[in-house]
Amino acid sequence: MDSTTVPGLRIREAVKQDTAVILGLITELAEYENLAHEVTATQGQLEEALFGARPFAEVVIAEYEGESVGYALYFHNFSTFLGRPGIYLEDLYVRPDCRGKGIGRALLVTLAEIAKKRNCGRLEWIVLDSNQPALEFYSRLKAIPLDEWTVFRLSGTALDELAAKG
């Protein structure tokens, strides 16, 4: 799964033994976005969610000169309008000291290749409005922001309350 021409870079599917590395990279991403206080995932939870009997998401890891320096975590969604699956990119992260080398682009190329191979009609993700470098990066790739959509979320007490009223 080497879809890149960046010397010293290898993109590969994550395996169960990568769980600690993935959690470390997730924590780094959260710190970068000033959201470290929201990370409650444990290594055991991630291992079950990614590599258990029913995996909910997949991960590709970027290794640069033999070191894990980034990842993309994704899962399938479905477009009723297209009648086809899509890929939703939950996280894309490259360590700051490795940015500007083409690693983030290589991770997205890999996901685009996976999407095409799986007959997906879309690859989509959400970006924090405050993450200007990411917004500029995605714009250079010709990704289109969907300003007319608003993201909603139910979690914690609100999710519990709605489920209890079922």
- pLDDT for 148: 93
- pLDDT for 166: 61
Angle between helices 43-51 and 19-32 (to 10 degrees): 110
Let me know the angle formed at the C-alpha of 138 by 31 and 5, rounded to the nearest 5 degrees: 95
The CA distance from 32 to 95, in Å, is: 9
- pLDDT for 5: 81
- pLDDT for 24: 98
Tell me if 60 sits within 8 A of 1, measured CB to CB: yes
Pairing state between β 9-13 and 58-64: antiparallel
pLDDT tens digits along 27-62? 999 999 999 999 999 999 999 999 999 999 999 999
- pLDDT for 7: 93
Tell me if 16 sits within 8 A of 52, measured CB to CB: no
Query: Is 138 a catalytic site residue?
Result: yes
Q: Record the pTM.
A: 0.92
- pLDDT for 3: 52
Among positive and negative, which fits the CA dihedral 149, 155, 157, 163?
positive
Q: Which residue bears the tokens 């519990």? A: 160
Ranges of each domain in the chain: 9-164
Residues of the chain with pLDDT under 70: 1-4, 166
3-state secondary structure of 40: coil
Who's near 95: CB < 8 A, 6+ residues apart? Answer: 25, 28, 69, 70
List, as one string, the DSSP characters of 44-112.
Answer: HHHHHHHHSSS---EEEEEEETTEEEEEEEEEEEEETTTTEEEEEEEEEEE-GGGTTSSHHHHHHHHHH
DSSP state of 11: E
CATH number for the domain formed by residue range(s) 9-164: 3.40.630.30
